[in-house]
Amino acid sequence: AQKVTQAQTEISVVEKEDVTLDCVYETRDTTYYLFWYKQPPSGELVFLIRRNSFDEQNEISGRYSWNFQKSTSSFNFTITASQVVDSAVYFCALSEARYGDKLIFGTGTRLQVFP
């Protein structure tokens, strides 16, 4: 079964703290894709990153980094030195090659960064 679990419903941190958002996925496909999206209070969904199942290299983009581990079916997202502008709901999503391009979203993690 295809499933994405984001166990952390809400996280609160103070500015400059590092924070990690967890994502665990389930799939029977060997070819699949993982994504992170950000939904700020304004409501739009902003694409952050895409990873395919054959590329386990971790990625860093500025203060953002992603850790993909197939052994634990996890694709975690870390924000270093968080800022108030990082406050948003973050969604992890999965698409599987055999089921086309549809995205299966997790329930999201609401991150609140306080000054």
Partner 1 sequence: DSGVTQTPKHLITATGQRVTLRCSPRSGDLSVYWYQQSLDQGLQFLIQYYNGEERAKGNILERFSAQQFPDLHSELNLSSLELGDSALYFCASSVRGARGNEQFFGPGTRLTVL
CA 21, CA 19: separation in Å to the nearest integer? 7
What are the C-alpha distances in Å from 49 to residues 13, 114, 115?
23, 25, 26
Is 24 among the residues that bind partner 1 (CB under 8 A)?
A: no
Is 77 among the residues that bind partner 1 (CB under 8 A)?
A: no
Strands (E), 1-115: 3-5, 10-14, 19-21, 24-26, 32-39, 46-52, 59-61, 64-69, 74-79, 88-96, 104-105, 109-114
Give the nearest distance from C-beta 24 to partner 1 in angstroms.
Answer: 16
Residue from 47, 59, 60, 84 binding partner 1 (CB under 8 A):
47
Residue from 12, 30, 52, 83 binding partner 1 (CB under 8 A):
52
Residue from 8, 23, 35, 111 binding partner 1 (CB under 8 A):
35
Which residues of this chain interact with partner 1, rule CB under 8 A? 31-33, 35, 37, 43-47, 50, 52, 91, 95, 97, 99-105, 107-108
